[in-house]
Chains A and B, each alone.
Chain A
């Protein structure tokens, strides 16, 4: 009897508490002008809704970035292409009705709302334009008006805020630089070169301007950072260097690289689980997803995605599942692959529209 009780207690402590939980994710299909809602019940991933987006039925407008408002009431979508500027659209979650939109810069991409200010920070990626400094648009998501535009590096991507909502981070792909924006100052506060060898550490907005001028005169750094994600404790950020196949950990206090993780080919996006344990990295060129133990700095497993061109990743708030968008090739559907972070396996996938890209976690329901 005692053994039974002990066994039962052991099972209670170790078995995942997530049975019977549904997870909901939004994902874009960039070459199909669609956004999908995917539901995962712990075993099966299913597309439960297809939402056509954009206003020109016969021009691909390119839905790229997604974010959910902190209160879960709205989702925001960046549409990359316009005549010529892109837009961010605001939709109601659930009904998925379009509420409003605001025109921003060229190819608005990644974005997130600060929990501190309530403002939306969107990078204008300008992926296909000239290699010149681009901008971060700061948007009031209530009014859907752009309130400020802050100059940043060349081809900014990734836009993630610390959990306290006070700092926004993005990387400039063709400047090889991490940018920190102080949300209360509405300006860049620090920049950091994301490679190991040339550690350029700039503080303050004046230095930032000089830094940019220097970068635009230089050759394109080989690092080509594509993503940045903060640790839930707001002590570090993780920058994905797509060009040099690594992820660097940056200490926000020292403003220096502390660790470097050698990844699979072509790392693209990453996310840290809420419990701070896992770093999940998508390997675009390798069509794989890597799951790392942040404590040990070791890659636990590198799992094959269901198709090629791995793109974005989002981890459920219970740190159990990673949802990875995979673009696919040409006419094949994109997919959302679901990885179990405890068992380190691919659980299921849902086929979505072509060129699945931006992905955002909406909610969990028991």
Chain B
């Protein structure tokens, strides 16, 4: 045996002897005094912790004490040599925590642990207050009160239910849900209480002059999904309108299915009604014991078409990511092209000729140092392309700028990765600038007016804790970014210059009307709306041609069934939908409608005219009628025009639809499917028969 081996053998024996000694120690246990703590936020307390031997003598074994980062602070962190610690514990957050103690020992099998519970309740309630309470109410009516509960940290507490009370239940009384019914005239004090904190307001119940309700609507043929506005007027005996009489709308219906499906729909407090299925519906308007009703017949929307497969470019060896379709320039201006990215593959992007959508051919391939080319975009003039990079072997990711003026021979003009090393997940080209989502934290704006020498002009990053961004879409000088928890953010990057050409576009769009102060160098936030799901993934602006309403359609993406599908070559099972945010008052966006396919997940989208084209992952391509006023669940209202499931037996994952993104283009709809490549479909009449051609 050589000298080294001898030395190390001796060391091993020595350690073994130490271990033996540790194994000879009796069991140890911790004692906490007190044995639990209840503290308010910001408070501290002293705790004595002792590590005893089995015979209740001091262990003479040091130990560490830990709390929870950001929530429970402990000082000191270590006991004395005898195994006693007097620590101060300070708490910073509400919740249930543990103070942990752990003995220091080289023999991990002998490490002893102890825990003490710490409970930190939410701060006490500071205020329970009414929100815009009415001062008068008509007898015989029912009104709703809203209240807000704030704690001492000035946080609105959704978990604390306010309790409403009337001082004279014979005049007016609450149900358990905060609705106050006015029985007779008089004065009452209304009180809202939360955990012992109250505030009050006076309410005078007055004579109700309403003697009749008049209900009207615009005569028309209504289909499922049409939003019908019912106008109700509460009238006195003389026919005068009582403007402030509360009117409650309700409906009942009878569906025409012939099977056990309900007549379902939605009616808003303002009297807007939308039916989800055909049938006869009676709408009621009630106030002060007076009711009027109208019955309407709702017919099927009957807009369904079929998506007929025209062409398919099968990709089997790699996953396909995003796509972009454009018209060629110069000598290629009579031709059409597409580019698709690849995901977790070889850093390739494929360029296709799609002039004949029935014959999709790859004409060029660009390979960059990346494992994922998540996003591909082409400039509006058809000359410049950008590929995003993730998983570069140099870890320098960034974007690659291309000359696509000859799509048969695409050239790499430059790479830009300065400050973009963390990967660019999505990008957009607008007005000689690339908007690149940088490491999921912010987006950088890169000037590519000289595409061989791009340079950064600005960036935008939210300042909320733990913010993250997924995508950005730019249109008419406004950037729409999708920011997970923080929802949709709308930035002014210059808007549109006012000109005869742009005048109508600007005047129709409330956001454009106010834009113009921002720039690529200094994007200026105009509006934002947080996402109630916390998963805002995509955003697309939509100016309705039929109504003039301006929406941002915000997609949310969710994988509630977790991981392993893609990598195990099992079909994924995501969820999610699109939220229609009405931006007519962009300072106060309101979600009015939603489109979600049951048991499928939303991904990318496109709007052209009043039609929504969506990629619904395992739900395939979906084409949706979003014309007219929008309200409620668009899927249930029969607004889906067509769908296409792109599962292919020879796909990367066989027989598994996974549509990534769509683009309507010249009477066709192109879309990419992760598992099987590039598709072109066309909408045809539902009973279209190919044999008739």
CB distance from B648 to the nearest CB of A (A): 19
Main secondary structure of the interface of A (DSSP, over half): loop
Instruction: Check if B64 sits within 8 Å of A119, measured CB to CB.
Output: yes
Q: Does B105 contact A (CB under 8 A)?
A: yes
Smallest Cβ-Cβ distance to B484: which chain A residue: A83
Closest to A56 in B: B559
Q: Which residue of B lies closest to A166 (CB)?
A: B104
Shortest CB distance A256–B (Å) = 25
- Mask of B98-111 contacts with A, CB within 8 angstroms, 1/0: 10101011101101
List which A123-164 residues lie within 8 A (CB) of chain B. Answer: 127-129, 137-138, 140, 142-143, 145-149, 164
Q: Render B401-426 as a binary contact track against A, CB cut-off 8 A, 1 for contact.
A: 00000000000000000000111010
> Is B565 close to A, CB under 8 A?
yes
**CB-based nearest A residue for B573:** A57
> Would B66 and A275 count as touching, CB distance under 8 A?
no
Known: A81-B440, A129-B422, A329-B393. A55 touches B68 (CB 8 A): no
Minimum CB–CB distance for B615 against chain A, Å: 12
- Bound complex: CA of A33 vs CA of B423, how far in Å? 15
B residues less than 8 Å from A342 (CB atoms): none
| Given A330-B347, A330-B370, A275-B98 contact (CB < 8 Å) | no
B372 in contact with A60 (CB, 8 Å): yes
- Shortest CB distance A55–B (Å): 5
Residues of B within 8 A of A330 (CB): 346-347, 367, 369-371, 393
B391 within 8 A of A: yes
Most buried by B among A127, A164, A331: A331
Q: Which of B8, B102, B367, B440 contacts A118 (CB 8 A)?
A: B102
| Interface pair B559/A57, CB less than 8 Å apart | yes
Instruction: Give the residues in chain B near A140, CB-CB below 8 Å.
Output: 66, 100, 102
Q: Is the CB of A327 within 8 A of B466?
A: no
A308 at the interface (CB under 8 A from B): yes
Per-residue B-contact encoding for A19-42, CB less than 8 Å = 1, 0 else? 000000000001111100000000
| Stretch in A46-54, A193-201, A209-217, A247-255 with 4+ CB within 8 Å of B | A46-54
Choose from B4, B62, B343, B568 the contact partner of A277 (Cβ within 8 Å). Answer: B4
Closest-CB distance, A97 to chain B (whole angstroms): 12
By a CB distance below 8 angstroms, the chain A residues around B70 are: 146
Q: A60-B391, A129-B422 are in contact. Are A116 and B563 (CB under 8 A)?
A: no
Chain B interface mostly: loop
Q: Which residue of A lies closest to B535 (CB)?
A: A83
Please, how many angstroms separate the alpha-carbon atoms of A74 and B74 in the complex?
Answer: 27
- CB of A354 within 8 A of chain B? yes
User: Which residues of chain B from 327 to 385 have any CB-CB distance to chain A below 8 Å in the complex?
Assistant: 343-348, 367, 369-372
**A184-B78, A354-B344 given; A328·B100 CB < 8 A:** no
Cα A185 to Cα B370 in complex, Å, equals 43
A71 at the interface (CB under 8 A from B): yes
In contact, A116 and B104 (Cβ under 8 angstroms): yes
Q: Which residues in chain B, 555-578, are within 8 Å of chain A measured between CB atoms?
A: 559, 562-568, 572, 574
Partner of A57, one of B8, B104, B563: B563
Docked Cα-Cα span, A52 to B561, in Å, equals 14
Q: B272 near A: Cβ within 8 Å?
A: no
Is B567 a contact of A328 with CB atoms below 8 Å? no
Neighbour of B4 across the interface among A137, A164, A276, CB < 8 A: A276
Instruction: Report the Cα distance A137→B421, complex, angstroms.
Output: 23
B614 interface hit (Cβ, 8 Å): no
Nearest B residue (CB) for A130: B419
Cβ-based interface call for B237 (8 A) = no
Q: A71-B108, A331-B346 are in contact. Are A31 and B102 (CB under 8 A)?
A: no
* CB-based contact A129/B441 at 8 Å: yes
Q: Which residues of A contact B64 (CB under 8 A)?
A: 117, 119, 184
| B183 touches A (CB below 8 Å) | no
Contacts of A31 in B (CB 8 A): 344, 371-372, 390-391
Q: Chain A residues near B185 (CB, 8 Å)?
A: none
Query: Contacts of A115 on B, CB cut-off 8 Å?
Result: 106, 108
CB of B344 within 8 A of CB of A148, answer no
CB distance B568 to A52 under 8 Å? yes
The residue on A at minimum CB distance from B658 is A58
CA distance A138 to B67 in the complex (A): 11
A300-312 vs B, Cβ < 8 Å mask (1 yes, 0 no): 0000000011000
In the complex, the answer to whether A164 meets B106 with C-beta atoms within 8 Å is yes
In chain A, what residue has the closest Cβ to B660?
A58
A211→B534 CA distance, assembly (Å): 40
Chain B, 566-605, CB within 8 A of any chain A CB: 566-568, 572, 574
The smallest beta-carbon distance between A110 and chain B, in angstroms, is 15
Task: List A contacts of B372 (CB < 8 A).
Answer: 31, 60
Q: Is B395 an interface residue (CB 8 A)?
A: yes
Asked whether B467 is an interface residue with its Cβ less than 8 Å from the other chain, the reply is yes
Q: Does B468 belong to the interface (CB within 8 Å)?
A: yes
Q: Is the C-beta of B77 less than 8 angstroms from some C-beta in chain A?
A: yes
Tell me the minimal C-beta distance from B457 to chain A in angstroms.
18
The answer to whether B5 has its CB under 8 Å from any CB of chain A is: yes
Chain A residues with Cβ under 8 A from B59's Cβ? none
Report the minimal beta-carbon distance from A144 to chain B, rounded to whole angstroms.
11
Q: Which residue of A lies closest to B103 (CB)?
A: A118
Whole-angstrom distance between the Cβ of A155 and the nearest chain B Cβ:
11
Instruction: Tell me if A184 and B566 are in contact (CB < 8 A).
Output: no
B:447-481 near A, CB below 8 Å: 466-468
Tell me how far the C-beta of A173 lies from the nearest C-beta in chain B, rounded to whole angstroms: 12
**Is A54 touching B563 in the complex (CB atoms < 8 A)?**
yes
* Interface residue B508 (Cβ < 8 Å from any Cβ of A): no
**Bound-complex Cα distance A149 to B104 (A):** 20
Asked if A50 meets B69 with Cβ closer than 8 Å, knowing A56-B559, A83-B440, A330-B367, the reply is: no
- Our pick among A33, A116, A147, A276 for the contact of B68 (Cβ within 8 Å) is A147
Interface flag for B439 (CB, 8 Å): yes
B-side contacts of A84, CB under 8 Å? 439-441, 466-468
- Bound-state Cα–Cα, A165 to B343, Å: 42
- Cα A13 to Cα B70 with chains together (Å): 57
Q: Can you give 29 A-B contacts (C-beta < 8 A)?
A: A31-B371, A50-B567, A52-B568, A54-B563, A55-B563, A56-B563, A57-B564, A58-B343, A83-B485, A115-B106, A116-B106, A117-B102, A118-B111, A127-B421, A128-B422, A138-B66, A145-B69, A146-B69, A147-B100, A148-B66, A148-B69, A184-B62, A186-B77, A274-B8, A276-B8, A277-B4, A330-B370, A332-B346, A355-B391
Q: Point out residues on B near A: beta carbons under 8 Å.
A: 1, 4-5, 8, 62, 64, 66-70, 77-78, 98, 100, 102, 104-106, 108-109, 111, 113, 318, 343-348, 367, 369-372, 390-391, 393, 395, 421-423, 425, 439-441, 466-468, 484-485, 559, 562-568, 572, 574, 674
Given contacts A59-B425, A275-B8, A330-B393, 12 further A-B contacts (CB under 8 A): A32-B567, A57-B565, A58-B572, A83-B484, A84-B441, A84-B466, A119-B64, A128-B422, A148-B77, A185-B78, A274-B8, A355-B371
- A-B interface, 7 closest residue pairs, ranked by CB to CB distance from nearest: A128-B422, A331-B346, A31-B391, A147-B66, A52-B567, A83-B468, A31-B371
